[in-house]
Amino acid sequence: MSALSSDNNAKRKDGKLVSCKVVASDIIYKDSLVSNDTSGYLNPGSDTANHRFAGVAYEKADNSSGAAGAINARVQKDGIFEFAKTSATQADVGAAAYILDDQTVGTTSTNGIQCGYITEVVDSSTVRVRIDVSAR
């Protein structure tokens, strides 16, 4: 393709809620952290090498008996969500949040899959995370 020489119709679509193909033989739960694997399929969030944070599941998607891509799940790409965090303290506010599993974040992790920034500490085991800065 060459550079434009006239106006273009880019066919804009809202990017706050998107549909993604779900990995084979797994279940995505509503309001869980989700990531894309190296093949681009949606997975429950985990601290897995080479995964990329996708967002927060808008709905449950049960593909436990299906092939990869047999069903889709809608994923939220923006907002602030509550997740579990062990030993949460006020000092965590502003820190990067990394996926540990589909409902838990940490300020460090093995594979460094960032899912946003901590905006508030709710209590010693719960934080609020702004995801729109990290969802891809």
Q: Which domain holds residue 102?
A: 80-130
- With respect to residue 99, please indicate whether it lies within any of the assigned structural domains: yes
Which pTM value belongs to this model?
0.92
Same domain for 24 and 36: yes
pLDDT, tens digit only, all 136 positions of the chain: 789 999 999 888 788 999 999 999 999 999 999 999 999 999 999 999 999 999 999 999 999 999 999 999 999 999 999 999 999 999 999 999 999 999 999 999 999 999 999 999 999 999 999 999 888 7
3-class DSSP state of 117: strand
Number of domains the chain contains: 2
For Cα atoms 94, 111, 103, give the angle at the middle one, nearest 5 degrees. 65
Whole-angstrom distance, CA of residue 42 vs CA of residue 56: 11
Same domain, 67 and 22: yes
Same domain, 85 and 61: no
Would 3 be classed as within a structural domain? no
**Cβ-contact 56, 35 below 8 angstroms:** no
84 and 98 assigned to the same domain: yes
**45 domain-assigned:** yes
Q: Is 10 part of any domain?
A: no
